[in-house]
Amino acid sequence: MRRAKMTRDSFHVFQANARNALKQSEQVPSVLICAGTGCIAGGALKIYDNIKAECEKRGLQVYVGLKHDTDEEKSLHVKMSGCHGFCEMGPLVHIEPMGIMYIHVKPEDCHEILEKTVLGGEIIDRLVYHLDGVAYPRQEDIPFYKKQHRVVLENCGTSDAEDIEEYIAKGGYSGFEKALFEMTDEEICKTIMDSGLRGRGGGGFPAGRKWDGARKQKSPKKYIVCNGDEGDPGAFMDRSIMEGNPHSVLEGMMIAGLAVGSDEGYIYVRAEYPLAVSRLKAAIAKAEEYGLLGDRIMGTDFSFRIHVNKGAGAFVCGEGSALTASIEGNRGMPRVKPPRTIEHGLWAEPTVLNNVETFANVPLIVRNGVDWYHSIGTRTSPGTKAFALTGNVVNTGLIEVPMGTSIREVVFDIGGGIRGGKKFKAVQIGGPSGGATTASQEHLDLPLDFDSLKSIGAMIGSGGLVVMDEDTCMVETARFFMEFTQKESCGKCVPCREGTKRMLEILDRIVANKGTLEDLDLLEELADTISSTALCGLGQSACKPVQSTLKYFRDEYLAHVVDHHCPICNREKPHPTIDAEACKGCGKCRKNCPMEAIEGSVKKPHTIDPEKCINCGACVSNCPFGAITAAKEG
């Protein structure tokens, strides 16, 4: 169906109608099934089908979009929403208007949910989230959600991601409309500058300054590029936004287009996010159908088109100049800067490149104003930040908190502490480009914002928070990240290509308990050299995990290089065991054990104390009876 072109007036009419429809929809019970990647993996699509089938059986009218007439008495609103963030508990099902949230829902629960809860108003205790013996049937009461402040992700869990009408009913595209008709390019840039919005992709560069720089470029062609190449392992905020609220990303890019005078945008999405690609493409098609994207939007001179490009599996493409090279169809390798991307970006034209979450913040700032934005977060880092909370924490998932929230609040209040009652050790912030914080009081109370984290050598990065417990060896963790960056190094500059390889070799050696004290100095020297000479951000920050663990967890390095025995790594490995039947009690193993870990008296079977054993294997080779079986190397 070809729609009449949207004008400003018809947009207002459409908006008013959509709002009415939303209000009416809120009168009827609705079932929201989380359709993020996590819940889909858990069977959310089957649940959606089952709920619909159950309704049909009862002759209930099912609305998929917003409800427009109130004639039907028995009706139900069934929709798939974006990610709720509590992926650990998925698949999640929400029932409105009661505000009930069910966890770990199975397709066979649908009958009961419809019968008891939707129609009967009764809560099914088995599907409710429990913590410490307390049931939390309503989402807003669950501790995981209580300390969160959802702004960018607000619509993610409550709206149908593919429904443009619902987005508009909730205020969507009104920021763009305001910018289009009521603001000059300069005013838009000033608004973003005044809001203090800083790039959510890692560095925290003020977005407004970037925009204003691109605006001042005298070029007939400019580009807006959205970086959805969320490569940091352990981060999935951008994926959730693209999947759960794709229109907010488009709207942010369109406002950027107005601000700098660009008519074309690209979204570069990781190949590993197929759902995000299809949702974005569907959203673009819808916006074009409604005349919100395309030529001469709402009858003005402004035209804007958006393309979606799929990455092909290169971490380095998250770097600006590598990303634009990849869009152009080249090897995604960074180039020397300056000239900066705002001067010489995609196809050598001035380009504004921001991250997904940054663009998603823009419509909210334009719509709600600068003062509103400054009322959230800290002075130098206003607004909220989405984090992917993962690792050895009880509640993993996607969270959004005001900037400046302490690590303690995130790990213990929202995250619910450490799994299995273990001790908290560290949080790795910012993935392979970030650093670790410790369990010290000072670090736990550290506010999560751009500047505080920088002061201790970590960075927000893309926002992955990986929590580690006492069983995690930090040297092994540093080695893991180094292996990642080494593998993903594009090979263009020598410091990164050669340096990370050598650092990985040293770390391998240390983890295998074959390192020396000198190796630690060498690591530090290499890290200094690489971070000051590598070509791009990936290389410059590649050493951060090593540098910060060397600073805060030096004793663990020392355990590896001085004692040649790391109690944490060792705990994981099985130890040699003595076969009591074959052992003659000769005592040779006891005499040869460097750790005095073997006990036993003459002519009696000996035993090995696993707490003391370092798996050196001396007992195995010294046993004349073959009674000791070696541990398999882990």
Partner 1 sequence: MVVPINKELTRANEIIENYGCDQSNLIAIMQEIQAEYKYLSEDTLTLIAEKLGVSTAKVYSVATFYENFSLEAKGKYIIKVCAGTACHVRKSGPIYDAIRDYLGLTGKKKTSADGLFTLETVACLGACGLAPVMTIDGEVHSKMTPEAALALLEDIRKKEDAAV
| Residue ranges that bind partner 1, judged by CB under 8 A | 37-38, 40-42, 86-88, 90, 230-236, 239, 270-274, 309-315, 326-333, 388, 390-392, 396-398, 428, 431, 464, 466, 468, 472, 480-481, 484, 488, 490
Q: Which is nearer to partner 1, 208 or 234 (CB)?
A: 234
- Least distance from partner 1 to the Cβ atom of residue 330, Å: 7
Q: Are residues 330 and 222 in contact, defined by beta-carbon separation less than 8 angstroms?
A: no
- Least distance from partner 1 to the Cβ atom of residue 472, Å: 7
- Least distance from partner 1 to the Cβ atom of residue 211, Å: 25
- Least distance from partner 1 to the Cβ atom of residue 622, Å: 30
3-state secondary structure of 119: helix
- Least distance from partner 1 to the Cβ atom of residue 28, Å: 31
Q: Which is nearer to partner 1, 235 or 507 (CB)?
A: 235
Q: Pseudo-torsion of CA 337, 350, 198, 384, nearest 10°?
A: -130
Q: 185: which residues sit within 8 A by CB, 6+ positions away?
A: 215, 258, 259, 260, 261
Q: Which is nearer to partner 1, 358 or 428 (CB)?
A: 428
- Least distance from partner 1 to the Cβ atom of residue 90, Å: 7
Q: Are residues 73 and 119 in contact, defined by beta-carbon separation less than 8 angstroms?
A: no
Phi, psi at 406, each rounded to 5°:
-80, 160
Q: Which is nearer to partner 1, 306 or 597 (CB)?
A: 306
HEC profile of 503-538: HHHHHHHHHCCCCCHHHHHHHHHHHHHHHHHCCCHH
- Least distance from partner 1 to the Cβ atom of residue 510, Å: 18
Q: Is 193 exposed, middle or buried (0-12, 13-18, 19+ CB in 10 A)?
A: middle
How far from 172 is each of 22, 89, 368, 615, CA to CA, in Å?
13, 29, 12, 62
Q: Which is nearer to partner 1, 243 or 413 (CB)?
A: 243
- Least distance from partner 1 to the Cβ atom of residue 97, Å: 27
Q: Which is nearer to partner 1, 472 or 513 (CB)?
A: 472
Q: Which is nearer to partner 1, 90 or 199 (CB)?
A: 90
Q: Which is nearer to partner 1, 176 or 236 (CB)?
A: 236
Q: Which is nearer to partner 1, 256 or 277 (CB)?
A: 277
- Least distance from partner 1 to the Cβ atom of residue 391, Å: 5
Return d(Cα 393, Cα 380) in angstroms, integer: 29
Q: Are residues 378 and 403 in contact, defined by beta-carbon separation less than 8 angstroms?
A: yes
Distance of CA 631 to the CA centre of its chain: 38
Closest Cα to residue 459, out of 558, 383, 387, 377? 387
Q: Are residues 160 and 244 in contact, defined by beta-carbon separation less than 8 angstroms?
A: no
- Tokens 């500059």 label which residue? 493
- Helix (H) and strand (E) counts in the chain: 28, 20
Q: Are residues 331 and 46 in contact, defined by beta-carbon separation less than 8 angstroms?
A: no
Task: Give me the DSSP letters along 151-172.
Answer: SSSHHHHHSBTT-HHHHHHTTT
Q: Which is nearer to partner 1, 453 or 490 (CB)?
A: 490
Phi and psi based region of residue 437 (left: phi greater than 0; alpha: psi -120 to 50; beta: remaining): beta
Phi, psi at 427, each rounded to 5°:
-125, 130
Distance, first Cα to last Cα, the chain? 62
- Least distance from partner 1 to the Cβ atom of residue 326, Å: 7
Q: Which is nearer to partner 1, 18 or 44 (CB)?
A: 44
- Least distance from partner 1 to the Cβ atom of residue 480, Å: 6
